[in-house]
Amino acid sequence: MRAALMYAAGDVRAAHVADPSLKEPTDALVRITAACVCGSDLHPYRSMSGSDGPVRMGHEFIGVVEATGSEVTSVRKGDVVVAPFAYSDGTCAFCRAGLQTSCVHGGFWARNGIDGGQGEAARVPLADGTLVKLPVGVDDALIPSLLTLSDVMGTGHHAAVRGGVRRGSTVTVIGDGAVGLLAVLAAKRLGAERIVLMGRHTARTDLGRSFGATDVVPERGDEGVEKVRRLTGGGSEIVLEAVGHRPAYEQAYGVVRPGGTISRVGVPQYEEAPVGFGSLFGHNITLTGGPAPARAYIEELLPDLLEGRIEPGRVFDRTVGLDDVAEGYRAMDAREALKVLVRP
């Protein structure tokens, strides 16, 4: 079959790889019908050494079950399913607590010999704990929105949940990528009254306004911090950081009010950052967030999506075939596309 492989920074290609097969009785084989490029895929796209490649890519997909192992009971051949970006058994202590990204038997796509999502098919380990059957066909108009449940909608929701968003909250979202925009949508869904979106790309921030942002602040650095603090009467009680670079983190602790909460879901590209008296400690700031247990949120979010109350699939603004996946990466890296859908 064919799949996307990254050979080095800036070098992604569709290439032939071995066909997946069932290895464990808990496996399922899924023919992938919709996948996408994630903002986190751009980190290795910008920095990966050629000595580390080639590696499989992609961690978000919808597809059709083609075969199942003897112990799989929740899905069967022909089912349309969505796969969250981490596979998990659904039974360990962490899964039962809704933290499937820490499953003791689980892991992540495109690592350690596990198939990636940007390909024609994938072996899904721990299928009963991982896959969720969808009540639609593979050509349904809702597929783009349903695909966001694999990562970006769940991640935006996780940011809002960990941040403590509730009815009447004042929230600042840092980042106008797909996760940031869906954090806006999630905050609105949970009842936030004021949502400040920090982003400077008008087409994206306009979408953010349609998702529920009440204010847009394009300025960065000290100027942006000061403007948010003025808009929010001294600082935002909740800040959702959806970028992952240190300047975004510094903006977050710049705009949060004393006693407030910073929820980070942008994959951090740094290991060291201020947490001392002048940044977090002195103002009793709570720092939370982490990789979203997307599997934990699918059943909660699915009804609103199916009934049209939310349309997270609007973040997709370009579609490519698998042979053109390199163009999808290039377009997202150049900020010519917000989020690229891949049709294998």
pLDDT digits (tens, 9 = 90+) for 18-49: 999 999 999 999 999 999 999 999 999 999 99
Q: How far apart, in Å, are the Cα atoms of 324 and each of 128, 303, 320? A: 32, 33, 6
Q: Which of the four pLDDT bands, split at 50, 70 and 90, describes residue 180?
A: very high
Q: Which of the four pLDDT bands, split at 50, 70 and 90, describes residue 176?
A: very high
Report the pLDDT averaged over residues 305-315. Answer: 98
What percentage of the chain reaches a pLDDT higher than 90?
99
Q: What is the pLDDT of residues 193-227, one digit of tens each?
A: 999 999 999 999 999 999 999 999 999 999 999 99
pLDDT at 221: 93
pLDDT at 121: 98
pLDDT at 251: 97
Average pLDDT, the chain: 97
Q: Which of the four pLDDT bands, split at 50, 70 and 90, describes residue 96?
A: very high
CA nearest neighbour of 46 among 343, 335, 241: 335
CA distance 249 to 238: 13
pLDDT at 288: 98
Q: Which of the four pLDDT bands, split at 50, 70 and 90, describes residue 343?
A: very high
CA distance 325 to 342: 7
CA distance 284 to 330: 42
pLDDT at 295: 98
Q: Which of the four pLDDT bands, split at 50, 70 and 90, describes residue 136?
A: very high
pLDDT at 57: 98
pLDDT at 300: 98
Report the pLDDT averaged over residues 275-302. Answer: 97
pLDDT at 61: 98
pLDDT at 73: 98
pLDDT at 48: 94
pLDDT at 338: 98
Report the pLDDT averaged over residues 146-174. Answer: 98
Residue where the block lists tokens 């980070």? 264
Please report the beta strands in the chain, taking only residues with DSSP state E, as ranges in sequence order. 2-8, 11-16, 28-36, 55-56, 61-68, 80-83, 86-87, 107-108, 121-124, 132-133, 170-174, 194-198, 215-217, 236-241, 256-264, 286-289, 318-321, 340-343
